[in-house]
Amino acid sequence: MTNLEMAMAALIKVFHENAGQDKKLNKAELKGLLQTEFKGMLGNAPPGAADEIFNGLDQDGSGSVNFQEFVNMVASVACVTNEMIFQQ
């Protein structure tokens, strides 16, 4: 597989390893995923940051984060990180 194919496979795997049987992330599942997968970026985040992220991601108000909402978050974080690293 190419690097991009491996990255996509990893993204899908991380989502499904953390999602419940409903194949969505509830608030606790998202918080666990963020603490594990973004610990370097969120290490100094204020208390309640995961709740704010969840509320921002749950665009349809369903009380859970589906795969599309999750991918939008990862893409946004990638764009911000790219700006921070390569636009200085």
Q: Can you give the pTM of this predicted structure? A: 0.84
Integer Cα distance of 20 and 2 in angstroms: 29
Q: Name the CATH architecture for the domain at 3-86.
A: Orthogonal Bundle (1.10)
Map out the domains of the chain as residue ranges: 3-86
The answer on pLDDT for 15 being more than 80 is yes
Q: How far apart are CA 82 and CA 61, in angstroms?
A: 29
| Structure confidence by residue, pLDDT tens digits, 41-86 | 776 778 788 888 888 888 888 999 999 999 999 998 888 888 888 8
